[in-house]
């Protein structure tokens, strides 16, 4: 069979989609890091996000994210926002301080850390490497 067979083709599509998704997350958070004002969010609350599943019988399932609210204050004290929202993978306690970025007219803050940028970036690179290895043609002896 010439070219890429079906199982490899499906794996290649999935790896490409994963690489694009994780790469987008890394780029997006890097843009927030360099274009928005750095500050701190003091957490008011975090609620586990419930989403509708895609199943045909309409059941609900709980996602792995939390919708959080709090107040943002810029590190240089140039501005503050009384109520901002952000998502998190784990719930924060009320009163907990979270490093984040926001714009002066913000409804949403973006928690920033090395892990929130580094993990998706590494995942994207690994996915691309896997994609290259999977689709590379090998000569048969």
Within a 10 A sphere around the Cβ of 132, how many other Cβ atoms?
A: 11
> Helices 6-35 and 114-135, interaxial angle, to 10°?
150
The predicted-structure confidence for 19-45, as pLDDT tens digits, reads as follows 999 999 899 989 998 999 999 999 999
Q: What is the pTM of this model?
A: 0.69
Quick: pLDDT tens for 60-69: 555 678 999 9
Tokens of 85: 């929202």
Q: How many residues does the chain have?
A: 141
């Amino acid at each position: 069979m010439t070219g890429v067979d079906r199982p490899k083709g499906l794996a290649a599509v999935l790896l490409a989609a994963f690489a694009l998704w994780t790469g987008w997350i890394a780029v997006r958070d890097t843009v927030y890091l360099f274009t928005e004002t750095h500050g701190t969010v003091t957490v008011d609350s975090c609620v586990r996000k419930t989403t509708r599943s895609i199943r045909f019988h309409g059941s609900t399932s709980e996602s792995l994210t939390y919708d959080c609210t709090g107040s943002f204050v810029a590190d240089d004290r140039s501005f503050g926002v009384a109520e901002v929202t952000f998502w998190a993978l784990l719930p924060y306690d009320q009163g907990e301080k979270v490093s984040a970025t926001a714009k002066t007219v913000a409804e949403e803050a973006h928690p920033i850390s090395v892990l929130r940028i580094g993990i998706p970036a590494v995942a994207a690179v690994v996915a691309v490497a896997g994609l290259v290895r999977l689709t590379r043609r090998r000569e048969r002896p």
